[in-house]
């Protein structure tokens, strides 16, 4: 990755990329500009090896999908829902839909069936691409009426003795039927036409479809490239869901703009192996990956010999001073300068080898990284660049840069993006990247987007010499370390619909998953324990699993990531006298979290669903 210079900015403004106004134009331009360059890599399970495709080859793949979509006879503006993991099929359907003036509706591959069914109904999707017919059966079982859905394309199908939905077709059959048909004519697409409807998490109610026209996304790409000029030699590793706007813009469309190659990770579980195999130069991520490696490093430090521990501590200290000096926030001594090459070789490089050994820049968004975590990687020499954005801004608003990196902030606003501080210290944003509005929700749109274009982010912030620092959230929203935003009050209300629970709070700020702290109905809990014992299920593990099943049922209407994965329980009620609730019986969250601080730390020190209890 190269740092963009003023000359680069001028070249961008005057070059062909600056004239591109829609995503199909961007795709055609890239294929024509570098047809034989490597474009995508994926793991071929049948061959047991990674396979690469050039831009010309991937365009041939996309052409098959274009023909199949054209054969369906959809009209411009019709919606095409994509429920697939990150892989070539997801890309091919997205590009084919865009080229036909259709509107992709990307959905989280691991979301629950209730949420998916709602999005299909709300968007009025005419076609669904889904990974399997088994997954479709789960969605159909919700019972949501989907009168607009005309075609269900299943990447994998299994023979069934039961009746077959006539809308279902196997992917191979669907593509094969149109493979030899006439090439479809080019569709007319304008910059203000929709390029996607991306649904929010829906944790403050039902998910809302964010309408992003082509000029929203393309303007964001151009602004990103002016701030962070990557090169065609760069390699991205794609593992954040393509249903998230952060990955769609920064990890999918941006590599197309610069001609870089993208490798699709096999799974999050296999990410450590894929990092070593692919050896990316740029990583688009959320804090969780850094937290995992940080935990490993700290564990190795704790069990290391005194000499190895001293070397690690010295590397972090010297590297930290080196980073600060590079950014004008301190001085580096002559001794530090002499020590760094050796410390880099024997300590820092070995840690960063976990990323593949040639990672130059890691862009992090979705949630703040804890300061000890980000400082570790910056001290080791990895440029971790924190940024800020939201689905409604396509999504990038601001980002740090390699030569202007202050990890205490989320950087400066992108070129062409205006920011200001409004009432209640709220960060407000205006620019060509701000959404058109919410799908079929004009009242919701009016509440967040003013008539003059200023968008209410809901985040409190300060701006100092152009640098944005996020200081809090106006509404009580939890942001997990994976970047998901959850309104805990909604989940807590849902949990309390089960009579087994008398009081509850949901926690998970900057944590990898949600957990619940609950007060149980003593009688109901005694009966539940008796039922468990009758089935031979005794002890905290069995009890925790039982409670989590109860909780999961109460929050089934919410996205999968909003389901608590661990629970701590007590039968001792929270009282006004103890300072845990208000006189109006509302939870005092800080007081409760302080009271259960030790139990909370124990939850996150273990795997999900491992819990303790207080009797």
Per residue in 66-125, pLDDT (tens digit) is: 999 999 999 999 999 999 999 999 999 999 999 999 999 999 887 888 889 999 999 999
Segment 166-191 shows an average pLDDT of: 89
Distance (Å, whole) CA 428 – CA 154: 42
Nearest Cα to Cα of residue 174 among 76, 96, 103, 69? 69
Segment 138-150 shows an average pLDDT of: 95
Indicate the DSSP class of residue 497: T
Backbone angles phi, psi at 338, to 5 degrees: -70, -35
Mode of pairing for the β-strands spanning 361-364 and 282-285: parallel
Q: Using alpha carbons only, what angle is made at residue 280 by residues 274 and 286, rounded to the nearest 5 degrees? A: 80
Segment 548-572 shows an average pLDDT of: 92
Half-sphere exposure of 519 (CA within 13 A, CB side): 14
Q: Using alpha carbons only, what angle is made at residue 307 by residues 302 and 309, rounded to the nearest 5 degrees? A: 30
Weakest-pLDDT range from 2-16, 79-93, 243-257: 2-16
Sign of CA dihedral 561, 84, 104, 280: positive
> Which of the four pLDDT bands, split at 50, 70 and 90, describes residue 6?
very low
Digit-coded pLDDT (tens) for 272-298: 999 999 999 999 998 878 877 887 888
Does the pLDDT value for residue 442 go beyond 50? yes
Strands (E), 93-193: 103-106, 127-132, 151-156, 168-170
DSSP string, 602-613: HHHHS-TT---E
> Which tokens go with 2?
């190269």
Segment 403-427 shows an average pLDDT of: 95
Weakest-pLDDT range from 7-16, 191-200, 263-272: 7-16
pTM of the model: 0.81
Digit-coded pLDDT (tens) for 25-35: 999 999 999 99
> Which tokens go with 436?
């058109």
Segment 201-220 shows an average pLDDT of: 85
Residue 296's pLDDT is 80
> Which tokens go with 426?
């709220």
> Which tokens go with 169?
């077709």
Does the pLDDT value for residue 12 go beyond 60? no
Does the pLDDT value for residue 529 go beyond 50? yes
Does the pLDDT value for residue 487 go beyond 90? no
Q: Which residues make Cβ contacts (< 8 Å) with residue 492, sequence separation at least 6?
A: 504, 505, 506, 587
> Which of the four pLDDT bands, split at 50, 70 and 90, describes residue 423?
very high
Cβ burial of 251 (10 Å; 0-12, 13-18, 19+) is: buried
Answer with the residue of higher pLDDT: 471 or 421: 421
Question: Domains in the chain, please, with CATH?
Answer: 23-189 (3.40.50.980), 487-614 (3.30.300.30)
**By three-state DSSP, how is residue 475 classified?**
coil
Q: Which residues make Cβ contacts (< 8 Å) with residue 176, sequence separation at least 6?
A: none
Q: Are 510 and 370 in contact (CB under 8 A)?
A: yes
Cβ burial of 360 (10 Å; 0-12, 13-18, 19+) is: middle
Answer with the residue of higher pLDDT: 266 or 289: 266
Segment 140-167 shows an average pLDDT of: 86
> Which tokens go with 603?
């939850």
* Arithmetic mean of pLDDT over the chain: 90
**By three-state DSSP, how is residue 108 classified?**
coil
Does the pLDDT value for residue 519 go beyond 60? yes
Neighbours of 401 (CB within 10 A): 17
Residue 9's pLDDT is 41
Distances (CA, A) of 183 to 60, 64, 178: 12, 9, 9
Residue 163's pLDDT is 57
Cβ burial of 551 (10 Å; 0-12, 13-18, 19+) is: buried
Angle between helices 334-343 and 306-326 (to 10 degrees): 120
- Distance between alpha carbon 115 and the CA centroid of its chain, in Å? 17
Enclosing H/E stretch for 384: strand 383-389
Backbone angles phi, psi at 130, to 5 degrees: -130, 155
């Amino acid at each position: 990755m190269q740092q963009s210079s003023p000359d680069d900015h001028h070249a961008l403004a005057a070059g062909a990329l600056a004239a591109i106004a829609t995503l199909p134009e961007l795709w055609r331009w890239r294929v024509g500009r570098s047809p034989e360059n490597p474009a995508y890599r994926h793991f071929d399970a049948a061959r047991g090896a990674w396979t690469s495709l050039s831009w010309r080859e991937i365009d041939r793949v996309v052409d098959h999908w274009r023909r199949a979509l054209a054969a369906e006879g959809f009209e411009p503006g019709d919606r095409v829902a994509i429920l697939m993991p990150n892989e070539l099929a997801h890309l091919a359907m997205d590009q084919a839909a865009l080229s036909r003036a259709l509107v992709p509706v990307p959905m989280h591959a691991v979301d629950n069936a209730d949420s998916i069914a709602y999005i299909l109904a709300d968007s009025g999707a005419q076609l669904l691409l889904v990974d399997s017919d088994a997954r479709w059966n789960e969605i159909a079982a919700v019972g949501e009426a989907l009168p607009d859905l005309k075609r269900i394309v299943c990447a994998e199908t299994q023979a069934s003795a039961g009746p077959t939905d006539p809308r279902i077709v196997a992917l191979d059959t669907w593509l094969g039927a149109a493979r030899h048909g006439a090439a479809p004519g080019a569709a007319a697409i304008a910059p203000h036409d929709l390029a996607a409807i991306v649904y929010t998490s829906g944790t403050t109610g039902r998910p809302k479809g964010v309408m992003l026209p082509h000029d929203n996304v393309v303007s964001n790409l151009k602004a990103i490239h002016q701030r962070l000029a990557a090169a065609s030699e760069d390699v991205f590793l794609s593992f954040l869901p393509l249903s998230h706007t952060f990955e769609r813009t920064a990890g999918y469309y941006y590599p197309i703009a610069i001609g870089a190659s993208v490798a699709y990770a096999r799974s999050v579980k296999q990410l450590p192996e894929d990092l070593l195999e692919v050896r990316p130069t740029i990583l688009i991520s959320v804090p969780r990956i850094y937290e995992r490696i940080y935990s490993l490093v700290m564990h190795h430090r704790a069990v290391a010999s005194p000499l190895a521990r001293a070397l690690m501590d010295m590397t972090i200290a010297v590297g930290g001073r080196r980073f600060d000096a590079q950014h004008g926030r301190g001085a580096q001594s002559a001794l530090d300068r002499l020590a760094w090459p050796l410390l880099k070789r024997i300590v820092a490089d070995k840690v960063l080898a976990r990323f593949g050994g040639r990672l130059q820049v890691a862009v992090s968004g979705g949630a703040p990284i804890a300061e000890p975590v980000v400082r570790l990687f910056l001290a080791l020499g990895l440029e971790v660049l924190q940024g800020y954005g939201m689905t409604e801004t396509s999504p990038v608003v601001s980002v740090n840069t390699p030569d202007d990196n202050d990890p205490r902030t989320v950087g400066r606003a992108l070129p062409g993006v205006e920011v200001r501080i409004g009432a209640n210290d709220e960060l407000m944003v205006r620019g060509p990247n701000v959404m058109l509005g919410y799908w079929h929700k004009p009242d919701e749109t009016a509440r967040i987007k003013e008539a003059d274009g200023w968008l209410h982010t809901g985040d409190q912030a300060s701006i100092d010499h152009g640098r944005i620092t996020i200081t809090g959230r106006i509404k009580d929203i939890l942001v997990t370390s994976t970047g998901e935003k959850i309104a805990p009050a909604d989940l807590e209300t849902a949990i309390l619909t089960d009579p087994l629970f008398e009081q509850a709070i949901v926690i998970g700020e900057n944590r990898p998953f949600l957990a619940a702290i609950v007060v149980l109905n003593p009688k109901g809990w005694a009966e539940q324990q008796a039922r468990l014992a009758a089935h031979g299920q005794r002890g905290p593990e069995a009890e925790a699993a039982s409670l989590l099943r109860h909780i999961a049922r109460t929050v089934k209407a919410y996205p999968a990531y909003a389901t608590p994965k661990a629970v701590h329980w007590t039968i001792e009620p929270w009282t006004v006298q103890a300072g845990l609730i208000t006189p109006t019986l509302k939870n005092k969250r800080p007081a409760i979290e302080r009271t259960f601080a030790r139990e909370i730390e124990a939850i996150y020190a273990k795997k999900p669903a491992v819990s303790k209890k207080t009797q």
